[in-house]
Amino acid sequence: MPGLRCDAALPRVPDRPERVVTRARTARDDGRRPTPSQWIDLGGRGKFKTWQLAGTRYFVQHCGHPTANYPWYGERPDGSMITSGKDGRRGMAFRYLDDAKVAVELDHAGMPGAIALTAAHRRAA
């Protein structure tokens, strides 16, 4: 009938307030960038991409998962992984290639874990 309102077409006010999702900051804000002249591109594309720190056996690799949120990790000469944890061993991989490269450079310089990314790790470091 003309003149009747259809309540189903009107937007509803939520019964409860929307929750705001907060996440720990995972991007560095210290301004460090990798030194381009120190990195050798070993080829590959996308998930097969590998970089090597010149003159060392340190590598940065992609985890291989095509939709990974944190795909980049460093690899030490002994084969262990370099992650975002406060000691450079326990933690997540890196979201950005530059972060992984800086972590490897710092690890090679004897400062493992200097790139701790999460707020909890930064407080503990």
Give the other-Cβ count within 10 Å of 61's Cβ: 21
How far is 57 from 69, CA to CA, in rounded Å?
26
Which tokens in the block code for residue 72? Answer: 């980049």
Q: What is the mean pLDDT of residues 95-121?
A: 78
Does a structural domain hold residue 9?
A: no
How far is 17 from 80, CA to CA, in rounded Å?
45
| Burial class (CB within 10 angstroms; exposed 0-12, middle 13-18, buried 19+) of 40 | middle
The number of domains in the chain is 1
Give the domain extent around 92.
37-124
> What share of the chain has pLDDT > 70, as a percent?
67
Name the more confident of 20 and 74. Answer: 74
pTM over 0.85: no
Does a structural domain hold residue 53?
A: yes
Does a structural domain hold residue 16?
A: no
Does a structural domain hold residue 22?
A: no
Does a structural domain hold residue 52?
A: yes
Does a structural domain hold residue 80?
A: yes
Which tokens in the block code for residue 42? Answer: 């070993």
